[in-house]
Amino acid sequence: MDFSSKLLENAVNEVSRLPGIGKRTALRLVLHLLKQPSENTKFLTEALSGLRENVNSCEKCHNISDTVICAICSNPNRNASLVCVVEDIRDVMAIESTAQFRGLYHVLGGKISPIEGIGPQNLQIESLVHKVKEGEIKELIFALSSTMEGDTTNFYIYKQIESYDVITSTIARGISVGDELEYADEVTLGRSIVNRIPFEQSIKS
């Protein structure tokens, strides 16, 4: 693209470095900001720098939090001995929105991925193993995505804690509620048959 302004070119280049945003989209977004009052750009840039400079993570679960201990970890009504292992804050938000889980979380900050150069030392695994060793956790629920990286991470953590007195489980995989069986993939459908549950249990939940 041939820009008539270095300032514009620079702004478009920076915006297009964001994931999933190409040069055309970046130009559209930047021109939108130019048509808006300059306060809007100020609010946007201040919100971004404010977050980046002052972001904190909870000392216990490593989730993004403005306080030293996050609202979930410091809630006395939640079951601190039941911990759900997730990849990032989006998973926490997704599970919280179901209102079905009353335990705590442990946010790993990613998955083990040799291709992206992410090893166990880059994730919050040591502190999780430490919690298990100290006997703080009775049950650990693995809720990572069921990809090769997710399975590897689950297995790596499991190997480190299997000798301790802790129950481990993974979230159920199966056909989505409301989905047609004929459109489900074979792996998911197969798992949902192998891991079938008693009918009496299904009508209660």
Q: Tell me which of 62, 69, 78, 90 binds a copy of itself, using CB under 8 A.
A: 90
Residue 100 makes contact with a copy of itself by CB under 8 A: no
For residue 13, what are the contacts with CB-CB under 8 A and spacing of at least 6?
Answer: 26
Residue 118 makes contact with a copy of itself by CB under 8 A: no
Site for a copy of itself in 19-78 (CB under 8 A): 19-21, 25, 27-34, 38, 40-56, 58, 63-66, 70-72
Strands of 139-142's sheet, edge to edge? Answer: 103-107, 79-86, 139-142, 167-170
Residue 17 makes contact with a copy of itself by CB under 8 A: yes
Residue whose CB is less far from a copy of itself, 73 or 161: 73
Residue 108 makes contact with a copy of itself by CB under 8 A: no
Longest dimension (CA), the chain: 69
Q: Contact residues for a copy of itself (CB under 8 A)? A: 1-8, 10-11, 13-15, 17-21, 25, 27-34, 38, 40-56, 58, 63-66, 70-72, 88-90, 92-93, 96-97
